[in-house]
Structure 1
Amino acid sequence: MAVRPEKQAIVAELKESFTNAQGIVLTSYKGLTVAQDTKLRAKMREAGVVYHVVKNTMLRFAAKDLGYEDLIQYLEGTTAVAYSSEDAIAPAKVIETFIKENNLATTETLTVKAGVVDGKVINAEGVKALASLPSREVLIAKLLGSMQAPVSGVVNVLQGTIRNAVYVLEAIRKQKESA
């Protein structure tokens, strides 16, 4: 099936965006009010996430060209795509937080369909697991803390050895003074 030039441009733009994206999340937004949608878009912008509604046929072409064939099965009904070129976790985290804050978990208003992280397609449960991960800054802080702990231990051991040497020298000095 031939794609018209204006639609080819949309597919090319999607492919470029997806190629540069660290994390991608597909959602169904059926039943979302205008106020909720506006609020969600604002949260996305704050987190540096691009969010827009896309036709499934355009997504299908882009997914096929990029080798994301596993994503095609999720392209039914309404579809919005959220992606970030900086943080793989941000799209998932913003959407899951928004769902919890607005009590949308029990409704079918805003649901996660699937996602892509590091070129791998993940299902809705995978996106939820991704959203529960700590932020990049927290992970880096934990890593640095765990790297710093052994160094602190070595410093304490060396200080203890030096302290003991000082005590021995002080004892020898006192012994020589009294003799």
Structure 2
Amino acid sequence: MARPDKAAAVAELKDKFSSSSAVVLTEYRGLTVKALKDLRRSLGENATYAVSKNTLTTIAAREAGVEGLDEHLVGPTAITFVDGDPVVVAKGLRDFARTNPLLVIKGGVLDGKFLNSDEVRTLADLESREVLLAKVAGGMQGVLQQAVSLVAAPLSQVARLAAALEQAAQEDPSIIGGAGTPAAVDQEPSTDDTTDAAPAAEADIAAAPAADTETATAVPDTNPVAADAAEEN
């Protein structure tokens, strides 16, 4: 490959490394052209399956700041540049490898971290982004329904209570407006009443001894011994 072509190939690979959400390295030794076409078709728009020279891939990965791939870029290696959900692509590669054992998963890179072959398979066992979002949406919908029920229940009770109160008020307006004359409130005697009563009470007390004296004077002496002595004299 001429030098300008190599530079262009490195620049293209570097751009794919930088723009991809994940990268998976596979060995395709022994796979037919038809099998590789089927693999590309199965990945669809989620990934790009490319075959390139290991030396060019190594240079492009370094320029893109991707580390950990050098020791795995040995032998016939194809690169899967993930454009969509990495979990979906990992599942596609794993499932294809089950029916085509010649496809060997070497490893990959996700969020700048290198993944070995076992970690890529573990990634394939996870649920896809769509499934997780559907579960989250379903959970949120359930929580929202519970929240609506909790809020709506007290409001409906208040509405029923208000309707009952309105009906009762129509039948008996006194429930709201009040009825009857309020009871008189006992009041404490005023200072003037207390002052006027005191002299009257003192006058009654002062008059009592005089009345007793007059009563005592008016009563005749009925002692018989005294009467007889008076007659003899």
Aligned to 1:130: 123
Matched-pair contact (CA < 8 Å) for 1:26–1:112: yes
In structure 1, what residue type is equivalent to 2:79?
V
Deviations 1:34-69 (A, max 9, x none): 33222112112x243211111111111112222323
Matched-pair contact (CA < 8 Å) for 2:25–2:78: yes
| Offset, 1:133 | 2.3
Aligned to 2:75: 77
Return the alpha-carbon distance in structure 1 between the equivalents of residues 136 and 15 of structure 2. Answer: 33
Matched-pair contact (CA < 8 Å) for 1:23–1:90: no
Matched-pair contact (CA < 8 Å) for 2:49–2:78: yes
Return the alpha-carbon distance in structure 1 between the equivalents of residues 40 and 83 of structure 2. Answer: 17
| Offset, 1:74 | 0.9
Of 115, 136, 157, which aligns to 1:164? 157
**Superposition CA RMSD, Å:** 2.3
Deviations 1:11-41 (A, max 9, x none): 1110001101112111011122333222112
For structure 2, the 5+ residue unaligned runs are: 173-233
Aligned to 1:140: 133
- TM normalised by structure 2 equals 0.65
Q: Percent identity?
A: 36
Return the alpha-carbon distance in structure 2 between the equivalents of residues 8 and 153 of structure 1. Answer: 60
For structure 1, the 5+ residue unaligned runs are: none
Q: 3-state DSSP class of the match of 2:108?
A: strand
How many aligned residue pairs are there? 171
In our comparison, the structure showing a higher alpha carbon Rg is: 2
Aligned to 1:7: 6
| Offset, 1:171 | 4.8
Aligned to 2:64: 66
Instruction: Write the mapping of 1:9-158 to structure 2, written as runs, cut at 5 A.
Output: 9-44=8-43, 46-100=44-98, 102=99, 104=100, 107=101, 109-158=102-151
Deviations 1:111-163 (A, max 9, x none): 11111112222111221122222222222222222333322211001111122
Return the alpha-carbon distance in structure 1 between the equivalents of residues 167 and 41 of structure 2. Answer: 74
Aligned to 2:205: none
Deviations 1:44-101 (A, max 9, x none): 2x2432111111111111122223231111111110011123333343222112123x
Matched-pair contact (CA < 8 Å) for 1:47–1:90: no
Q: 3-state DSSP class of the match of 2:105?
A: strand
Return the alpha-carbon distance in structure 2 between the equivalents of residues 71 and 95 of structure 1. Answer: 18
Q: 3-state DSSP class of the match of 1:70?
A: coil
| Larger RCO (CA within 8 A; separation ≥ 6) | 1
